[in-house]
Amino acid sequence: MKVNTSELETLFEIQRDILAQRKLVAEANEIRGGGEIDQVRDRIATLSEAISDQRLRDEELERDLKRLENDVELVENRLIKDNQRLNESSSSKDIAGIQVEIESLKSRLSKLEDDELELMDQVEISKAELTRLQAEHLSAEAELEAAKSDLQQKLAGLKQDSDRLISEIQSLKTQVTGELLELFEARLAKGIAIGRLTGSNCSACNMSLNSTAMSEISAVAEDELCSCPECGAILVR
Ligand SMILES: [Zn+2]
């Protein structure tokens, strides 16, 4: 097949652009599968679970506190009634009995109030933990949005570079005859399609060609298509 140097140089440029474009696609796939976004998503899911657990704990503590407050109220009411009975009673036996009951109620009340204070502390701690988890959740969500927009931006940049290369490749292809282009594309599907011969070195396979191979190459006329005897790549001589 007759070829001219300018066509071969164009093929060289096409190959360079195609390899560069493939690299961009690989880079885009790597970024997409990078897992950074998945990691943040996992963290958000874990936080959501922790928040819902914490909320349940919080509700339980609030219920306990309410129960305790009711108990306190009951004991207080009984104390009021007992004190009224004490004031109205004239029987010393009754008075003694009521006094014993009042003492016992007072001690019960004091115990309940201690429990109430302790539970209020726990409620406060629980609410602080819930607030902390919710803030962490919010910040993880902001992080996810930022990571997503960063990814979109990077992918858009890669896409732009890739589109530019594709259009450059299309335009370069019009400068090469059909038959040569077909041969080039068939070779490129298997590996490096075209190499430059520098001295006895083929840049496609990086082999230093021996004298037999060099004589084979010299036997091919300057305007004829010549391939590397080692790797079969089209040679620019
Ligand atoms: Zn070669």
pLDDT digits over 187-208, tens only? 999 999 999 999 999 999 999 9
**Does 103 share its domain with 157?**
yes
User: Is a pLDDT exceeding 90 seen at residue 87?
Assistant: yes
Report how far ligand 1's centroid is from the alpha carbon of 182 (Å): 19
**Does 203 share its domain with 157?**
no
**Does 79 share its domain with 190?**
no
**Does 89 share its domain with 20?**
no
Report how far ligand 1's centroid is from the alpha carbon of 64 (Å): 82
Report how far ligand 1's centroid is from the alpha carbon of 105 (Å): 102
Look up tokens 């300057």; give the residue: 222
**Does 119 share its domain with 70?**
yes
**Does 86 share its domain with 136?**
yes
Span 123-163, pLDDT tens digits = 999 999 999 999 999 999 999 999 999 999 999 999 999 99
Report how far ligand 1's centroid is from the alpha carbon of 169 (Å): 23
**Does 44 share its domain with 114?**
yes
Q: How many domains does the chain have?
A: 2
Q: At 164, which CATH number?
A: 1.10.287.1700
Classify strands 201-202 and 207-208 as parallel, antiparallel or unpaired: antiparallel
pLDDT of residue 35: 85
pLDDT of residue 236: 95
Report how far ligand 1's centroid is from the alpha carbon of 232 (Å): 6
**Does 127 share its domain with 220?**
no
Report how far ligand 1's centroid is from the alpha carbon of 217 (Å): 11
Report how far ligand 1's centroid is from the alpha carbon of 203 (Å): 6
* Burial status of residue 11 (CB atoms within 10 A of its CB: 0-12, 13-18, 19 or more): buried
Structure tokens at 220: 């091919």
Full domain range(s) for residue 202: 5-26+177-236
**Does 157 share its domain with 198?**
no
Report how far ligand 1's centroid is from the alpha carbon of 53 (Å): 66
User: Is a pLDDT exceeding 90 seen at residue 235?
Assistant: yes
Average pLDDT of every residue of the chain: 96
